[in-house]
Structure 1
Amino acid sequence: MFNISNMPMFNNIARGVLILCIFKQALSAERKPNIVVFIADDLGYADLGCYGNNTLKTPHIDSLARDGVRLTHHVATASVCTPSRAALLTGRHQMRSGLAPSTNIRINFWVGSRGGLPPSEITFAELTEQAGYRNALIGKWHLGNHRDRPGDHAHHPLSQGFHYFYGLLGTNFDDFANDGSKVVLKQRPYFNIQILASWLSIVACLIYAYRAKYIGVFLFAVLVFSLTAICWYLYYIMNNLYFLNSMLHRNHDIVEQPAELVGLSKRLVHEGLEFITNSSGADSPFLLVMSFVHVHTVLRVSRDWDGSSAHGIFGDAVQEMDWSVGQILDALDSSGQRDNTLVYFTSDHGAHKELGVHGGCNGVFKGGKSHGAPEGGIRVPGIFRWPAVLPAGRTVDAPVSLMDLFPLVAKAAGISLPDDRAIDGRDVLPLLKGDTDVTPHEFMFHYCGSILAAVRYIPKTGGRVWKQVSHMPNYLPGTDVCKFGCRCSDLILQDPPLIYEVISDPSESHPIDSQSVEYADISKKVEAAIKVHEASLEPVESMFSYTNVLWRYTYQECCNGTFPFYCQCSDSKYSNKFYV
């Protein structure tokens, strides 16, 4: 029988093909993993099926938990967006970057301000950039734009390691509905009346001084004018968030103003899929951060998801977000990159309980968004999937922090951690893989603004997690909510501090006896850890000082014109009705 394999030429070709296959397999094995990070906004711990919710449909996020590692004790460093996201990106407490405010403004409120993530900070995108990754951030940034002068973009994502950006530089607000709803007036319902009263008082004083022929009437008039200008300024910036902040950027350019939130999730998904497609053909790996606008109010969904859930617009938004996750996961599958892609899903903090049916669910945990120490504001979903490395279906009950993503990304990308700064995130890869059940954390610190409100202590013996709470929100009587959001300036000092064992008492209902030997031992260890932690905090400029956080006319961006004229444009890329 004729056998082509007996031919010398074929043998040479076969050897060549075999060598080529082995070489290609070796290259594939050495290829750094892609990294996809999903960040939900204001999503509660119990808003997902894989965390016990049986009334919302989240099959794609649930599949991540089924095929990867689900964290049950996953915590944020803050219960509001900006500081929590800064810690996630840098692996460092927000105190170290100046993003722990001493004022009641605890987020980057205006896009046209000069506060944000300092350029001196190193994000995990800058780590992957060093390793040759292509990096994109799609969705919400909320960590600043301009810094020292208009247009310098020192806080912009493209200055923090990302190569492509599409989304909101700020955050979503109720004001973006443009239906009369105002987020500031929800917190301060008489704000407009107070400002008007201030104006009338100033005018009355001026009239009195003039009629009394007060000698310094001119100087007084100057003072009155200045005070009136301040009142007008505060009224304007607080009452016009829709006009000042509602915009979408592509890289440095405004492409839509005001932002159209209906169908925005579809557009974000399209941008993410486009980035994966463009990156799949490249030799370098990629980092994609899908930072969802869902489920922050104001809630808007595309027509396909309107009325899809039994929980109104909030449920619709959760399910549309789950669909968005599924689209990205399908793209990884179809491009053959599933096994070698590290996927991480989380929320920046807990659900906003004061919003009721529009605010999500934190399960058994007390409190929520903006509350500081209580578990409901800082205990969040956390899922890792990396089929080539991590086991499927594993559940980790040991405490893990959002900041732990930073060293994990560094390890995955083959980059050493920066040695010129304190890194608070820890290497949790052995824990995720199942090589150990012990967390690398012994103490975790939880802030409300610049106030250290609680400390979590995890003995190495395992089985227990202690939480010492020194400051609690000033809740409405008989509830675990505030009027709209809890202010750090209203915190109630607990003297002596409360200590809970949050494994057996996750709702923080039964503090241990402050006169017990156990209390004294735990408190002594926690107080010693606080001293070490505080000694490690170097003085930094506060990004939330009034000069940094308040709106500036010269920093305000406007498309198709000069502010405040003609600030309207639509993203021509998405004129198709499919994206509605």
Structure 2
Amino acid sequence: MHRTLLFLALLGSLLPLIASAADSKPNFVIIFADDQGYGDLGCFGSKKIKTPNIDRMAKEGRRFTNFMVASPVCTPSRAALLTGCYPKRVGLHQHVLFPQSTKGLNPNEHTIADHLKAEGYATACFGKWHLGHHPETLPRQNGFDVYFGIPYSNDMNHPDNKGKPRVPSDQLWRNQASAVELWKTPLIENEKIVEVPVDQRTVTRRYTDRAIDFISEHKDEPFFVYLPHSMPHIPLYVPEDAYDPDPQNAYTCVIEHIDTEVGRLMDTIRQLDLADNTYVIYTSDNGPWLQFKNHGGSAGPLRAGKGTTFEGGQRVPCVMWGPGRIPAGSQCDELVASIDILPTIATLVGSPLPQDRKIDGMDMSHQLTGAPRPTRDEYLHYTSRGQIEGIRVGNWKLLVKNQRQRNAKQNTKLPTPEVLLFDLDADVGEQNNLAASHPDVVQKLQTRMLELDAEIEANARAPWKKP
């Protein structure tokens, strides 16, 4: 009898703990690199760049080999990630924002941070925002509790983008100490500028420091950390202890430094016993800036890079980690997109998305575990200027590239568009144009592309605009 009573007493004390663990909501960390190519991680085939920490994430989690972002440039890609929408739907599709821009992400949009904050999450953004530098458009107006980072790209100058240096990238790399003063990029805490110019040599580490402190502070409650690094967008910088003066190794130094900082953050999650209840996603906003050669990355087997709708511009490396939830050492080759992250997170926390607006992303939570369920079958490709240019349906990818009219006075007729059709299953490098031999596929895909784009345009929502 005594043992029975003791057992019941112990069971009674454990039940609240068991229920609490079962009811606890998972934490989320999204690490978003800037201009990192498909071939710039060890786990995605790089032979030169050593990324042991991200590679470990892949060994303990899942690689996504067919992960697409919604634009080949910064602002629209970031808008899509956070809102789950094609950039055109939220009015941020026309290239990137600059210090003199007068618009930004509308606070009425529903972001990942908005969704999780409504569920009781602590939310933070540490890094490059690039969705509007005006106070009305900064992270704390879009669901984040705290913000620390730069408001736009690290090659832009406060306050009007004037006075930017014209110095070769190799020379900048060789003289990091003096070069850091050449760019007048501001560092913002919440809505206040706290440093001009930001010391870009240390900013990757400082973002990570803030993320580690935030996770440590909120370890006993659900949290969401959005960590969009400024690098490896040019100009490139690293702290002294990660620096190699040879400019041929500049890009490698930056990616390896990011990997080191990812390792620090992951160690914190493990040391705080948060691993079993935390999802970490590592990916990039678009492909590599190939024109900068040793200061730009690699698209691996993919064609072209940043600024293009070829795979190298929009297919990016992606690793998702979540011990106990995501099978270790696994791989997903099916089409998944950054716009799917918001709907997927909504499913994982068990809370529906708002019904008063169209969200283009799909719930892909089953892709985290490899469960056999229908997956995304089509995807639109917009240029860096927001023009519809292509569609992916299954293994087929169509691009209809309108050639620029160079002399409008002499030519009254627009140049004939270049039509490209690729079978990505057989030709991931997009080298074999099948348009001439499959006109029926071209017509079918083009009709669908224009139909989907017309719906988005008809129902597009306005960005925030300065009065």
Tell me how far apart the structure 2 counterparts of residues 473 and 138 of structure 1 sit (CA, whole Å). Answer: 39
Aligned to 1:504: 426
The aligned residue for residue 433 of structure 1 is 369
SS of corresponding position for 1:439: coil
TM-score (norm 1): 0.72
Which SS does the other structure have where 1:16 is aligned?
helix
1:541/1:91 CA distance change after superposition, 3 Å: closer
How many angstroms does 1:262 deviate by? 1.4
Q: CA deviation at 1:471?
A: 1.1
Q: Structure 1 residue 77: deviation in Å? A: 1.1
Q: CA RMSD in A?
A: 2.8
Amino acid aligned to 1:538: A
Residue 538 of structure 1 and its aligned partner are, at CA, apart by 3.0
Letter in 1 for 2:111: T
Deviation string 1:537-573 (CA, Å, 9 cap, x unpaired) is 33657659xx86xxxxxx9xxxxxxxxxxxxxxxxxx
1:39 maps to what in 2?
32
**Matched AA of 1:528:** R
Q: 1:243 to 1:307 in 2, by over 3 A?
A: closer
Listed as ranges, the gaps of 5+ residues in structure 1 are 1-5, 147-152, 187-240, 459-464, 475-491, 549-554, 556-580
Structure 2 distance, partners of 1:350, 1:167, is: 22
Deviations along 1:100-139, one digit per CA (max 9) or x if unpaired, are: 12xxxx21111x5421111221101100011100000011
| Whole-angstrom CA distance in 2 between matches of 1:244 and 1:541 | 34
Does the alignment pair 1:166 with 2:159?
A: no
Q: Given the superposition, is the C-alpha separation of residues 434 and 19 from structure 1 closer, same or farther in structure 2, using an over 3 Å criterion?
A: same
The offset of 1:245, in angstroms, is: 5.2
Stretch deviating more after TM superposition (528-537 or 317-326): 528-537
Inter-CA distance 250–311: structure 2 relative to 1 (3 Å threshold)? same
Distance 2:403 2:104 in 1: 26
User: Matches of 2:373 and 2:116 in 1, distance apart?
Assistant: 28
Q: What is the distance in 1 between the residues matched to 2:391 and 2:48?
A: 34
Instruction: Give the one of 55, 60, 68 matched to 1:62.
Output: 55
Alignment match of 2:111 (pick from 120, 123, 134)? 123
Alpha-carbon spacing, 1:312–1:494, altered in 2? closer, same or farther (3 Å):
farther
Change (3 A) 1:278 1:306: same
Determine whether 1:77 maps to 2:70. Answer: yes
Which of residues 243, 246, 254 is equivalent to 1:306?
A: 243
- Residue 287 of structure 2 aligns to a residue whose secondary structure is coil
Give the equivalent residue in structure 2 for 1:150: none
AA of the residue aligned to 1:506: V
Give the structure 2 partner of residue 139 of structure 1: 127
State the TM-score, normalized to the length of structure 2.
0.88
Give the aligned length.
445
What are the equivalent positions in structure 2 for 1:265-304 lying under 5 Å apart?
265-280=204-219, 282=220, 284-304=221-241
- Work out the CA distance in 2 between the residues paired with 1:436 and 1:315: 38
Q: Is the deviation greater in 78-87 or in 11-20? A: 11-20
Aligned twin of 1:451: 387
Partner letter of residue 158 of structure 1?
R
User: What is the one-letter code of the residue matched to 2:427?
Assistant: D
CA distance in 1, matches of 2:354, 2:133: 24
Contact 2:88 2:456 in 1 (8 A): no
In 2, the alpha carbon distance for the partners of 1:179 and 1:449 equals 25
Q: Aligned partners of 1:57, 1:114: CA distance in 2, in Å? A: 41
- Contact between 2:35 and 2:284, CA under 8 Å: does it hold in 1? yes
Q: Which amino acid aligns with 1:250?
A: E
Of the candidates 165, 173, 177, which is equivalent to residue 181 of structure 1? 165
Is the Cα–Cα contact under 8 Å of residues 427 and 440 in structure 1 kept in the other structure? no
Q: Which residue does 2:407 correspond to in 1? A: none
Residue identity in the other structure for 2:330: R
For the residue of structure 1 that corresponds to 2:103, the secondary structure is coil
**2:341 paired with 1:405:** yes
Match of 1:534 in 2: 454
Partner of 1:252: 191
State the partner residue of 1:470.
400
Question: How far apart are residue 400 of structure 1 and its match?
Answer: 0.9
Q: CA deviation at 1:442?
A: 2.8
Residues 46 and 308 (structure 1 numbering): CA distance in 2 closer, same or farther, change over 3 Å? Answer: farther
Further displaced range: 389-398 or 13-22: 13-22
Alignment of 1:278-427 (within 5 A): 278-280=217-219, 282=220, 284-307=221-244, 311-371=248-308, 373-427=309-363
**Off by >4 Å, runs of 4+ in structure 1:** 10-14, 241-245, 308-311, 539-544
Match of 2:136 in 1: 154
Q: What is the aligned-residue identity percentage? A: 30
Cα distance between partner residues in 2 of 1:119 and 1:539: 18
**Distance change >3 Å, CA 402–CA 376, structure 1 → 2:** same
> Once the 2 structures are TM-superposed, how far is the Cα of residue 309 of structure 1 from its aligned partner?
9.2
- For structure 2, the 5+ residue unaligned runs are 170-179, 405-413
8 Å Cα contact 2:236-2:254 kept in structure 1: yes
Deviation at 1:528, TM superposition (A): 2.9
Instruction: Give the secondary structure class of the aligned counterpart of 1:99.
Output: coil
Counterparts in 2 of 1:309 and 1:69: CA distance versus 1, 3 Å: farther
Secondary structure, in 3 states, of the residue corresponding to 2:46?
coil
Shift of 1:391: 1.0
Distance 2:205 2:230 in 1: 11
Letter in 1 for 2:240: R
Alignment correspondent of 1:30: 23
Q: How far apart, CA to CA, are the structure 2 residues paired with 1:117 and 1:315?
A: 33
> Highest Rg: 1 or 2?
1
| TM superposition shift of 1:443 | 3.6
Q: How much does 1:174 deviate?
A: 7.2
CA distance in 1, matches of 2:81, 2:141: 17
Contact 2:435 2:442 in 1 (8 A): no
CA deviation vs aligned residue, 1:491-543 (integer Å, no higher than 9, x gap): x96646211112211221111142x3x43135314413431441243365765
Secondary structure of residue in 1 paired with 2:457 = coil
SS at match of 1:534: helix
